[in-house]
Amino acid sequence: MILIPEVPFEIDDVCEVVNGRYGPGKPNYAIIAVAEGAKNPEVDEKLKEFGAPVDDFGHVLRTKMKVSLAQALAEMIEERTGKETRHVVLGHLQRGGDPSAFDRVFATRLGLKAVEMVEAGQFGMMAALRGTEIVAVPLEEALRESKTVPEHRYEEARVFFG
């Protein structure tokens, strides 16, 4: 199961998936990938119990948490299902893996473009890949809208959740 910010989730639905993976002929384990921005009011309350900081309106300040969303969710799943749970917060190395040849060449090309932009006095810009070309893009353009997972892509992946 995958939990992302674009699609709010219900704890009961998560527990149903977990329970559905246990029994005769089942794998007897469940893996849930949780984006730190995944949204659920019950989990936010659990985070507050763990001491997560809140803003003036009582909303959890996720960027300043010392406890992870995964930790809170794991505890809630174990409480509701009786299944032993563990949470793992991946570091940068586990998230990224080893760089491929493409990654190395891409990083070099981005770096070269950044140097060219500095030499040309192009500030307030970022190097970006458009098609196969590395181009200068104004930061205002890059920040104009958030890139999110299209809901239909999430629905396609949902068939593999269990």
Please check whether residue 129 lies inside any domain of the structure.
Answer: yes
**90 and 114 fall within a common domain:** no
Q: How far apart are the first and last CA of the chain?
A: 7
What's at 66, amino acid-wise? K
Of the candidates 43, 42, 15, the one whose C-alpha atom is nearest the C-alpha of residue 30 is: 15
Q: Provide the residue range defining the domain that includes 67.
A: 2-95
77 and 130 in a common domain? no
* pLDDT tens for the 162 residues of the chain, in order: 999 999 999 999 999 999 999 999 999 999 999 988 888 888 888 888 888 888 888 888 877 767 788 888 999 999 999 999 999 988 766 777 788 999 999 999 999 999 999 999 999 999 999 999 999 999 999 899 888 899 899 999 988 887
Residue 149 falls inside a structural domain: no
Residue 155 lies in a domain: no
The structural domain count of the chain equals: 2
Structure-block tokens of residue 38: 């995944």
Same domain, 16 and 81: yes
Torsion sign (Cα): 80, 16, 38, 88: positive
H or E element that contains 19: helix 11-20
3-state secondary structure of 85: coil
The answer to whether position 162 is within a domain reads no
- 123 and 75 in a single domain? The answer is no
| Same domain, residue pair 36 and 103 | no
85 falls within a domain: yes
Residues 6 or more apart whose Cβ sits within 8 Å of residue 146: none
Q: Which of 65, 95, 125 is the last residue of a domain?
A: 95
CB 87 within 8 A of CB 69: no
Helix (H) or strand (E) holding 44: helix 41-49
